[in-house]
Structure 1
Amino acid sequence: MSENGLTAARAKMRDAGVAQQAIDVFTHYYAQLEGGATGLIPEETIEPLTRIDSVDGAAIDEDAAREALDRTALIKLNGGLGTSMGMDRAKSLLPVRGGRSFLDLLVDQVMAARRRHGARLPLIFMNSFRTRADTLAALAARPGIEVDGLPLDFLQNREPKLRADDLSPVQWPADPELEWCPPGHGDIYTALMASGVLDALLERGYRYAMTSNSDNLGAAPSARLAGWFAASGAPYAPEVCRRTPADVKGGHLAVRRSDGRIILRDTAQTPPEQMHYFTDQFRHPFFHTNNLWFDLEVLRDTLVERGGILGLPLIRNEKTVDPADPASTPVIQMETAMGAAVEAFEGAAAVEVPRSRFLPVKTTNDLLLVRSDVYEVDDDGLLRMVPERACAVSLDGRFYKRIGDFEARFPHGVPSIRAAQSLSVEGDWTFGAGVVVTGRARIGSEGSPGMIPAGARI
């Protein structure tokens, strides 16, 4: 039964033009799935990782740091459509500050780093089929971002969603695109090799890559971190931040008891009955930012040695073929996390970085924050937090979750929250211009729907 499913899935991928390396990786994980692999990492199999070097305390030679940055490529994960916020195009094209999008600010950051450090610093996006055209069109308006004839992007692979009952490729004639899914951002290593971008970078003298999510405006080019990574001699290193009570979702690093390797454990890999360990900020004091550094030469050699398969832990993701229809066919999506590669390289390290390097926008709560006066944008395209602590924002998901609804309720821009500790909005409220929020503010649902008048102080 499952052999027929694998044969059908491989044929479907070949017919769609998926690279053979990606088909081989899919086959590797299919065998694990068929064998009953869950991808779970129980607490009793790991030890907490509690001591990590900090980049702030490292002695780094400035000239060596500039040289390391000149040999670094910046790769941004850009396959997401922002569907959780109701978007249907590349999330990086969403306006963030003064009409400038994530992509605009990323380009500003790269161009500023080139000027400041004299580095080549190519900017390359890993796009999906759904984000490629819009992203390249936006980049065409930013002349000079190309470097050394390198491409501005490469494509993330895709694979069939599998029926949960027999592991065959799901059929969904109502929308055949929903029959496919990305293999998780762990596909970056396969896609780099299959696209030829890995070899192109090495041929042009690049040795290191720094990669992060395109919606994380804190993950800017850093000569200091490039210098630390080059001096460390590590083949691979994730950036981590110290956890707070609010950091309960992001993955964390741990030490596997069986072999002493550093590993990444995500929420989906934690047994449900052990989530209290996962969210314990004192037991696991650092969270994984998904900002990663890796040695391109080591990556190439390792992929060649292993036949293109790094062997990252499987993440078994159970969904329905149409995410918007819980009654549609149950499917399994096989995924991997790029941060899990920390266990694939002997001698991998980790580095603690300032919280300012982790500024993702996953929800409209986050979007309100980065659009607000809590942050200012400097000449290098970097967001600088003005108060000591950022305001905690909680918007009623019934009325603010989707970007269209959010924009309609803040027609004059978001309120001032620089002097606020928290802002909680319940109900349906439209905000006038010049609203100022201070202290711990809560707007209840009584009187909703309604208008917060211009100039109001809350």
Structure 2
Amino acid sequence: MLLQRPTRTYSSAGSAAGLLAAQHKMRKAGVPEQAIKVFTDFYHQLEHGASGLIPESDIEPLTDIPHIDHLDFDTPTLRAAASSTVVIKLNGGLATTMGMEKAKSLLPVKDGQCFLDLIVEQILHVRRQYDVDLPVLFMNSFRTSRDTLEALAPYPDLALDGLPLEFVQNREPKLTVAELEPISWPADPELEWCPPGHADLYTALDASGVLDRLIASGYRYASISNADNLGAVPDPAMMAWFATSGAPYAAEVCRRTPADVKGGHLVVRRSDGRLLLREGAQVPAEDAERAADPTIHPYFNTNNVWIDLRALREALDRSAGVLHLPLIRNEKNVDPVDPGSPRVIQIESAVGAAISLFEGSTAIEVDRDRFLPVKTTNDLMLIRSDVYSVAADRRLQTTLDRIPLVDLDPRFFARIADFEARCPDPPSLANATSFTVRGDWTLAHDVSVVGNARLEDLRSPCHVPAGIVLGDRS
């Protein structure tokens, strides 16, 4: 994803026509007026070429924040916090880069269970353990709603009286790169639309009425995380920490390593001391070395956030429903699986960017076990392998001090269908340091990796027989 850059100047007449056409298309499709106002705000940012850059001279590093290990609450405090918290899972993605056409959360990840199965079981475990009505809501997109609700149907006790299981992200037109006009794609008109990014959470909660329903039902706090992050389990200790902090907004961060330099990180704005989320594309070129140095900026953003629902209600009221978050300019093909299809711009924004809007926002350091996203088949192989097991509370756990590095050839393993055809059973990685595959390899069952292993590209399909041990102990 690329944040907006002043790459070209659009004529006022052309961009005005493009905006009017986009607004008309959204109204015709029944998109709420509030979402159209938010889109209009982002559109103006796009046409005016706002840079979005956050230089080192404007910020200070974020340091010395509390660690989750320091949390210690009695059972009544844990129960009280859990009874006033709602869990919201961001579930709008299709994982098109992995070749999926259904909700990514339906992908089997462990012992035949998908993301949704594990999330539901985690919620039900907390309800039983603390005797609380802990709701879970899925923010679906127009492309994931039906699949998700069908997958949740076997859990009739999941929905709580008066609350839905989902609210749906708004949608907006994809724009032509040259004219900023809504793209026309008769081959599949659904591909003319895109979700507006995770920050649409705030607009969708409000426009759907779910925000007010939650507040009226007595819920004060929301735990928000990506559905594909199996580490972001509903934890009453974290709920108690946020409830007792008095903060209107909080972010979970992890210690950065050299492998984390590309992601967003939190910084402190010098002008007012507020926290900012600085994405990699917001770093000026001359600041890239300092921004990537984990000794200077020690934390990265996990996209696990916490928000006081009353504070959100007040912020939306003050801004007439438009929070004026920074834009992300995401350029893609109109058909994600057809690299020859026209390039389009998708207007998006990050949910974590809202941290700067709330005075008193804070952050907490968490361990890596709360950040286990599955973004690629490299991640999927690790999760499916014996590196991780499922604990009694249905969270993923590992006994390893260091997680192996998996690097599969994207030409043959990036898409789910290709990955599963070549690796129907994950290899044992519990004793591995790294596993690299180059070329077209198929792995039989009962393959083990020990130490460092590398399969080279032999320029023809190759096969690893059953029972083979790959690697060394170096």
Measured in 2, the distance between the counterparts of 1:86 and 1:248 equals 26
The alpha-carbon deviation at position 409 of structure 1 amounts to 0.9
Is residue 2:433 matched to residue 1:425?
no
Aligned residue number for residue 150 of structure 1: 163
**Contact residue 38 and residue 316 of structure 1 kept, 8 A:** no
Deviation at 1:268, TM superposition (A): 3.0
> Does 1:456 find its partner at 2:452?
no
**Match 1:347 to one of 360, 373, 377:** 360
Q: Contact 2:121–2:394 (CA<8 Å) still a contact in 1? A: yes
- Mapped to 2, the partners of 1:43 and 1:172 lie a distance apart of 42
Question: Which residue of structure 1 aligns with residue 5 of structure 2?
Answer: none
Equivalent position SS for 1:361:
coil
Cα distance in 2 for partners of 1:347, 1:59 equals 22
Kept in 2, the 8 Å contact 1:376–1:386? The answer is no
Report the Cα distance in structure 2 between the residues aligned to 1:66 and 1:96, rounded to whole angstroms.
30
Q: What residue number does 1:390 align with?
A: 403
1:220-255 deviation line (CA, Å, top 9, x unaligned): 001111111011100000100111122123210001
Report the secondary structure of 1:307's partner residue.
coil
Identity of aligned residues (%): 59
**Is the Cα contact below 8 Å between 2:89 and 2:137 reproduced in 1?**
yes
> One-letter code of the match for 2:35?
A
Cα distance in 2 between the residues matched to 1:62 and 1:311: 40
Secondary structure (helix, strand or coil) at the match of 1:350 reads strand
Contact 2:252/2:301, CA 8 A, preserved across alignment: yes
1:201-212 to structure 2, matched below 5 A, reads: 201-212=214-225
Q: Distance in 2 between matches of 1:44 and 1:456?
A: 55
User: d(CA) in 2 for partners of 1:316 and 1:129?
Assistant: 21
Please tell me the root mean square deviation across aligned C-alpha atoms, in Å. Answer: 1.5
Matched, 1:93 2:106: yes
Which of residues 321, 324, 340 is equivalent to 1:311? 324
Q: Does 1:106 align with 2:119?
A: yes
Q: After the TM superposition, which segments of 4 or more aligned residues of structure 1 sit over 4 Å from their partners?
A: 324-328
Summarize the alignment of residues 30-41 of structure 1 with structure 2, pairs less than 5 Å apart: 30-41=43-54
Question: Are the counterparts in 1 of residues 96 and 336 from structure 2 also a CA contact under 8 Å?
Answer: no
Give the letter for the 1:382 counterpart: R
Aligned to 1:134: 147
Q: Which runs of 5+ in 1 are unaligned?
A: none
Task: Report the secondary structure of 1:230's partner residue.
Answer: helix
Q: TM-score scaled to structure 2, two decimals?
A: 0.93
2:448 to 419, 427, 436: 436
Instruction: For 1:323 and 1:278, locate their aligned partners in 2 and report how far apart those are by CA, in whole Å.
Output: 31
Matched, 1:362 2:369: no
Deviation at 1:272, TM superposition (A): 4.6
Contact 1:38 1:314 (C-alpha < 8 Å) held by counterparts = no
Instruction: Give 1:63's aligned amino acid.
Output: P
Superposed CA deviations along residues 117-150 of structure 1, whole A, max 9, x for unmatched, are: 1121111100011111110001001121111231
Q: Aligned residue for 1:26?
A: 39
Please point out which of 9, 12, 16 is paired with 2:25: 12
153-162 vs 49-58, which moves further: 49-58
CA distance in 2 between counterparts of 1:455 and 1:320 reads 43
Q: CA deviation at 1:171?
A: 2.2
1:183–1:334 CA contact under 8 A, matched in 2 = yes
1:416 is the counterpart of 2:460:
no
Letter in 2 for 1:419: N
Q: Please tell me whether the aligned partners of residues 88 and 225 of structure 2 are also in contact (alpha carbons under 8 angstroms).
A: yes
CA contact (8 A) 2:89 2:226 kept: yes
**Contact kept in structure 2, 1:48 and 1:284, CA below 8 Å:** yes
Q: Which residue of 1 aligns with 2:235?
A: 222
**Structure 1 CA distance for aligned equivalents of residues 231 and 116 of structure 2:** 13
Number of residues paired by the alignment?
Answer: 457
State the 1:324 CA deviation: 4.4
3-state SS, counterpart of residue 66 of structure 1: helix
Q: Specify the code of the residue in structure 2 equivalent to 1:456.
A: I
Per-residue deviation, 1:447: 7.0
Displacement, 1:316?
Answer: 2.2
8 Å contact kept, 1:185–1:336 = yes
- Secondary structure of the residue aligned to 1:249 is coil
- Residue 278 of structure 1 is matched in structure 2 by 291
Shift of 1:270: 2.6
Q: Does 1:300 align with 2:313?
A: yes
Secondary structure of 1:69 counterpart: helix
Contact 2:58 2:270 in 1 (8 A): yes
Judge which range, 46-55 or 283-292, deviates more. 46-55
**Cα separation, partners in 2 of 1:409 and 1:181, compared to 1, 3 Å:** same
Deviations 1:14-51 (A, max 9, x none): 00111111001111122222222132223332221122
Return the match for 2:457 from 438, 445, 452. Answer: 445
Matched, 1:190 2:203: yes
1:232 alignment partner in structure 2: 245
Letter in 2 for 1:336: S
1:44 counterpart SS class = helix
